[in-house]
Amino acid sequence: RSKDRGGGVFHAYEPQLHADAEERRVLELELRQALERRQLALHYQPVVEAASGTLRGFEALLRWNHPRLGSIGPDRFIAIAEETRLISPIGEWVARTACEEAARWPGDLRVAVNVSPEQLTNPHFVTVIASALVQSRLPAHRLELEVTEGVFMREGTGATRVLEQVLDLGVRLSLDDFGTGYSSLGYLSRTRFSSIKIDRSFVVSAAKGVPEPLAIIRAVVALARSLGMATTAEGVETEAELAMVRELGCSNIQGYYFGRPLPVAEAREVIRRGSTNARAA
């Protein structure tokens, strides 16, 4: 729009730029206090086995219940947390809280926790995870850590060594948002991933009949299988998407079709009812 005004281009953008910087500065200050003020919460999204629809566990997703702004999603504050090193205490809280919650769940239900590359540059991270497991008494194999390809772009930070040490604890590891970053088959075969999560963008376009993403999902499923890894299709919302990822042989499915990320009490209710269809509630 501002382009039409010719010379006014830069002026037209300034107020917005200023507002963004201001919002960021305020959020950064407030994020420092969010933990101690108990404004952070985890929501839990069901992950089900594709073939049977059986509930396998939940992914823990961070929310910030901001006093003025309401519920804020991680896309608006994780980057700030990473840049200010607040990600360490926040990530520690996430791991402890998720392990304590999952320890109450019956059977072998798993909890998946997102870990940003920044956390893995801290050698103390291994101790954090070990301690979260010990204190919650959650068996290590019921904790799954999700990392993105970004972890492998950090040569020289020690991130991959920390990852190896965490894996030695017996936790599972999955590769999140696969296909959206700079994928390399090298680290895929070198790292002990239990599963590959196929990004929602592939699911959406493949279900619309676009041939390339369809071919990619098919190839990733075959690759994962031959490396002894499972696959999780992310962001399955519709009947058509569900049918497609089942047909392609994805092991697990996650998405609004089976349930949105739920507050802890509602996640427990899903477990109690033995049904993953949160929409039926």
- Closer by beta carbon to Mg ion, 32 or else 74: 74
Residue 58 has φ and ψ, to the nearest 5°, of -140, 150
**Residue 181 CA from chain centroid, whole number:** 14
SS3 label, residue 76: helix
Query: Considering beta carbons, is residue 131 or 201 the nearer one to Mg ion?
Result: 201
Q: What torsion do the CA atoms of 76, 60, 96, 87 make, to the nearest 10 degrees?
A: -20
Distance CA 47, CA 57 (A): 5
- Return the range that interacts with ligand C2E (CB under 6 A); candidates 21-29, 108-116, 213-221, 243-251: 108-116
213 vs 261, beta carbon nearer ligand C2E: 261
CB of 12 to ligand C2E, least distance (A): 30
Q: How far is CA 272 from the centre of its chain?
A: 24
Which residues of the shown chain bind Mg ion in the complex (CB under 5 A)? Answer: 114, 146, 176-177, 234
Q: How far is the CB of 212 from Mg ion (least distance, A)?
A: 20
Q: What is the spatial distance between Cα 50 and Cα 101, in angstroms, rounded to a whole number?
A: 24
Interaction pattern, residues 32-71, with ligand C2E; x per rule: CB under 6 A: -------------x---------------xx---------
By CB under 6 A, name the one of 255, 271, 276, 278 that touches ligand C2E: 255
Which residues from 155-214 bind ligand C2E, rule CB under 6 A?
A: 176-177, 200
Nearer to Mg ion, 61 or 244 (CB): 61
Residue 242 and residue 53: Cα distance in Å, rounded?
A: 11
Q: How far apart are CA 28 and CA 262, in angstroms?
A: 26
| CA dist 70 → 60, 143, 211 (Å) | 19, 30, 41
Q: Which of ligand C2E, Mg ion, none does residue 164 bind to, with CB < 5 to 8 Å depending on kind?
A: none
Positions that interact with ligand C2E (CB under 6 A): 45, 61-62, 73-75, 78, 94, 114-116, 146, 176-177, 200, 235-237, 254-256, 261
